[in-house]
Amino acid sequence: MQIRDYVLRRLLILPVLIVGVSIIVFALTRIGGSPIGIYLSHEMSAEEVAELEARFHLDEPIPVQYVYWAGGVLSGDLGWSGVAAAPVTEVFPDKLAATMELAVASAIVAVTLGIGLGTFAGARRDRFPDHVTRVVSISGAAMPLFWFAILLLIVFWVYLGWFPIGRSDAQIFASIPHPTGLYTVDALIAGNLTAFRDAVWHLVLPALTLGYGATAIIARMMRSSLVEELQEDYVDAARAKGLPERLVLRRHARRNALIPTVTVIGLSFGFLLQGTVVAEIIFRWPGLGRWMADSVLRGDQATIMTYVLFTSVLFLVVNLVVDVIYAYLDRRVVLGT
């Protein structure tokens, strides 16, 4: 089977998985009780409440409610957010763009640093650079995110003043149009380097905070699988062919060591998404995080369900991409399915 067929097959399964995930999300959210709460006020009479319930089909059995909700999602109606005091669809895109920009930036930090450090350490097993990398990465995995975030904030914003917090400078924000909502991309589209630098500078602290934890996991995985691969016969066989050590490492050992690492990368994307909530609150990043925290506390179920549904789908897509990379790296996978 070709990789193309494999990707197609996985894409066909994707909608089925999404429906499954949406059912689980809907059922789990209902454990928190009826979503009517956020729409009520103390002045309402029992009749008014009943009328409201009937209007939102909340008097129907839960499976029927699901069908109404799913129908709404398909027609672009994600419900009313009590916290934002606006339809979810109106607030969601901007905040999503902010969160995505942060998540992608931290993923880039995590993947490049993780694979780089892991390769560096694995190729120098049990020597001084390996020990240093070990300390750096274990502290990344061990430090609580919020604590590390505040540490960075104090050092680089308060003391040194090297990096700003928030998402952009107000003046620079107003100077260019924002068609995508991803400020770095918007700045590039507008061809405005000042705006681009501003967007990147604002990203540094939160992306570093978020990326560091995932870097640690990826680097540890990369290191140990590289150490394992370097003991394989094919590495000696590559040396026996006369390849320079650089190619033995890059073309042979690292390629195989990436196979287990890629899986970890896919899984740590979920970790990154969770982390955005904390990082956004600490660095005043106007993403989904803060809105979500408030929504959970106030029982804004329309928002919660949108968020959970969206992140689950995103997680599925990321892991689909991971599986495709996996199949590309290890051809035996394609045979198995």
- Site of interaction with other proteins (CB under 8 A): 232-234, 236-244, 247, 251-252, 255-256, 259, 329-332, 335
162 vs 234, beta carbon nearer other proteins: 234
Write phi, then psi, for 87 (nearest 5 degrees): -60, 140
- What minimum distance in Å lies between the beta carbon of 86 and other proteins? 45
Compute the distance between CA of residue 329 and CA of residue 337 in angstroms, rounded to an integer.
15
106 vs 256, beta carbon nearer other proteins: 256
C-alpha distances out from residue 228 to 216, 222, 264, Å = 18, 10, 17
90 vs 232, beta carbon nearer other proteins: 232
Compute the distance between CA of residue 328 and CA of residue 10 in angstroms, rounded to an integer.
14
Contact 233, 132 (CB under 8 A): no
Of 217, 215, 253, the closest CA to residue 234 belongs to: 253
- What minimum distance in Å lies between the beta carbon of 227 and other proteins? 12
Cα atoms in the Cβ-side hemisphere of radius 13 Å centred on 308: 19
Q: Which two tokens stand for residue 264?
A: 């970890």
- What minimum distance in Å lies between the beta carbon of 225 and other proteins? 13
- What minimum distance in Å lies between the beta carbon of 4 and other proteins? 15
- What minimum distance in Å lies between the beta carbon of 87 and other proteins? 44
43 vs 126, beta carbon nearer other proteins: 126
42 vs 246, beta carbon nearer other proteins: 246
Cα atoms in the Cβ-side hemisphere of radius 13 Å centred on 243: 17
